[in-house]
Structure 1
Amino acid sequence: MASKQHNHLISLVKQMIPPLSPKLHKGQAGRIGVLGGSGDYSGAPYFASMGAMRFGADLAHVICEPTAGAVIKTYSPDLIVHAILDYKKSDEDIKKELKGIMSRLHVLIIGPGLGRDDHMQNCARIAFGLAKDMDQMGVVVDADGLWLVQSEPKLVMDWPGVPRIVLTPNIMEFKRLCEAMKIDTKAEPRTLCPQLARALQNVTIIQKGEHDIVSNGMQIPAELIEGQGISSEEVLENEIQGGLKRVGGQGDILSGSTGVLMAWGSEWVKGTYTDVGHPPPDSKAIAENVPLLAAYGASTFNRTVSKRGFEKKGRSMVTGDLVDLVGPVYEEVFGKAREDDGAGSKL
């Protein structure tokens, strides 16, 4: 049975989710980009972007290398594929095209299928620089995006305002990040995530494991800790049971759902959804912790979809099975979509 604290956090996450309304136009409920897709890896950006679409994003853009782009376009006509990360192009040309695409996004997911060759890593480096200069753009970093961050931690540091970055490392990626930041990995396990978050200037981290640990290295506001007037906690621990089989693309679905929740949360805070009867938060603490809530909500969703996929498919479960379950599990975790009483929709 879920704890009172877990239910409280999910109730806060639900507040960020916009209702389905004819008063909203296409794009207001999430424009997500995925930067990755090298010649060897076309599946990961597909799972991240399609996971985001199935979760509820209006639009998903894949920004990739041309060979990967030709393949990804055959997977689904729902995805907008920009095969601009061409080895033949100059950095300046790639930067110019990237800037045009990123200016249309709420959140950019960096890393799925990126690969580690110099060209693709440099494209990610350019994207980090552009995102840092874009007001309120959220960033989710996974896979080989984390490989770049461990080599160049400054890419996620010194961002203006409240940090709007979520890292989603698995066990080995987390260990390498800790070593890069000279954090003793033999310390008490529950202390490692906040230590790493602080070392990276309070980015939000989902430390994936038997239980997911979420932290931005700061004291959790009391508003997020049900029943406590004063909070001394630095982590949110997610003990929701996951599946017993790990599949390679499961983390990509986590990245996609994290990105959508960050997009919804940022627009909620800005008041985008006020016209559909969805006022922004009345608590500054909640408004400033959208990445933390998005990370916890996505962790809950991802663990649940993994469990349901394993229950249905057992050892034969693959990531495509999880994509098919995104809709039903979304409703299980967050409830059916709220609707207003209007008719029609704006395009």
Structure 2
Amino acid sequence: MSAQIDQHEHLLSLVRRMIPPLSPNLHKGQAGRIGVLGGSGDYSGAPFFAAMGAMRFGADLAHVICEPAAGAVIKTYAPDLIVHTVLDSSLPNGLDVAHEELVSLMERLHVLVIGPGLGRSAFMQSCARLAIQLARERDIGVVVDADGLWLLNSEPDLVRDWPGAKRVVLTPNIMEFRRLSDAMGIAADSCAELARALGGVTVLQKGAVDCISDGAGGLGKGDTLTVAVQGGLKRVGGQGDILAGTTAALLAWGREWARGAYAHVGHAPSDEDAAVVDHVAVLAAYGASAFNRTVSHVGWERKKRAMVTHDLLDIVGEVYEDMFGQYEAEDNKGKL
């Protein structure tokens, strides 16, 4: 148990290295521009929780790309979000319109989350396919969740052997993991095997204990990291969406840090950070998993059976400060 705790603290210390400091020399948008593609007519809550989860965690900007019906509702939830109602199946050239808008939006994003509230209609699945293809052509980080994973069941080549696979994270729950494994012909319940079959993308397998792997290993014993941080005893819809959003925020920070985007504020990789740079996606998944399990536990302790996802969203900032903020305060002493 002691060794497990030591490894957990070590991995969190690596996650902290990727987080940009709060600095007056960072302008709006440098600390994370996140997109969430989803939000069909029936599901407006999921993209809201993913986008707001990313912003409450610390990302600067969040865009939601959705159907008009979902967008009208999401705009009433939070004016903090930038909502693009460009996925419109009622238009005869709806996919062409979506393509044009997505090309423009991709230039503004560090990471795109694909799937929350997406639904399984042919049109919305086509929009997700288009978004993945565009992200693959550009240097955009990708988190695939929920019905984005449904698309990969039939089209795994959309992410398989992705150039620079360290920028792709899949977040399947138990059933989604089984479907993906079946689609890839993997009999064993192995997170690492699925990651390898997909060419090195990072898989965050959600469960009683979360498992994370890119198939290669290099950060701990073996090729799979496990997260056994205690969560809450009530599962509510929307927790996975907050996980997807916070994973995206950490992935954005990690990738920007690794490429030297924060060097001007004294935050750049050193020679000792080679392992962190090589495992940004795995560490983003690990940090987000540990964080969201902690959020769930704190929410459960306070609300018990009455806990809903809004309760969790409300404490994201508080839990962030407990897990990561105190270290920022120590690092920034005398700098501001």
On the 8 A contact 1:21/1:340 being kept in 2, the answer is no
| Paired amino acid for 1:211 | V
Is 1:301 the counterpart of 2:291? The answer is yes
In structure 1, runs of 5+ residues without a counterpart are: 226-230
Cα distance in 2 for residues equivalent to 1:45 and 1:306: 19
On the 8 A contact 2:195/2:214 being kept in 1, the answer is yes
Cα distance in 1 for residues equivalent to 2:105 and 2:335: 32
**What do residues 149-198 of structure 1 show as CA deviations (whole Å, max 9, x unaligned)?**
111101112322343110011111111111111111xx3x4xx1001111
On the 8 A contact 2:44/2:70 being kept in 1, the answer is yes
| Paired amino acid for 1:125 | R
**1:308-327 superposed matches below 5 A:** 308-327=298-317
- Secondary structure in 1 aligned to 2:203? strand
On the 8 A contact 1:22/1:342 being kept in 2, the answer is no
On the 8 A contact 1:162/1:288 being kept in 2, the answer is no
| Alignment match, 2:46 | 44
Cα distance in 2 for residues equivalent to 1:155 and 1:340: 45
On the 8 A contact 1:55/1:257 being kept in 2, the answer is yes
| Paired amino acid for 1:198 | R
| Paired amino acid for 2:312 | L
What is the number of equivalent residue pairs in this alignment? Answer: 328
Is 1:209 the counterpart of 2:207? The answer is yes
Q: Kindly indicate which of the two structures has a greater share of residues assigned to helix.
A: 2
In structure 2, runs of 5+ residues without a counterpart are: none
Q: Which of 95, 101, 105 matches 2:105?
A: 101
| Alignment match, 1:228 | none
On the 8 A contact 1:245/1:317 being kept in 2, the answer is yes
Cα distance in 2 for residues equivalent to 1:261 and 1:172: 25
Q: Which of 17, 20, 23 matches 2:19?
A: 17
Cα distance in 2 for residues equivalent to 1:250 and 1:237: 19
Task: Check 1:281–1:122 CA distance in 2 against 1; reply closer, same or farther (3 A cut).
Answer: farther
Q: Which of 111, 126, 132 matches 2:130?
A: 126
Task: Check 1:281–1:62 CA distance in 2 against 1; reply closer, same or farther (3 A cut).
Answer: farther
Task: Check 1:258–1:281 CA distance in 2 against 1; reply closer, same or farther (3 A cut).
Answer: farther
Is 1:247 the counterpart of 2:247? The answer is no
Cα distance in 2 for residues equivalent to 1:163 and 1:290: 7
Is 1:180 the counterpart of 2:178? The answer is no
| Alignment match, 1:272 | 261
- Secondary structure in 2 aligned to 1:3? helix
Taking only the aligned residue pairs, the percentage that are identical comes to 63
**What do residues 93-127 of structure 1 show as CA deviations (whole Å, max 9, x unaligned)?**
21111110111000000000000000000000000
**Length-normalised TM-score, structure 1:** 0.92
Q: CA deviation at 1:247?
A: 0.6
Q: Which of 3, 9, 28 matches 2:5?
A: 3
Larger RCO (CA under 8 A, 6+ residues apart): 1
| Alignment match, 1:56 | 58
On the 8 A contact 2:166/2:280 being kept in 1, the answer is no
| Paired amino acid for 1:326 | V
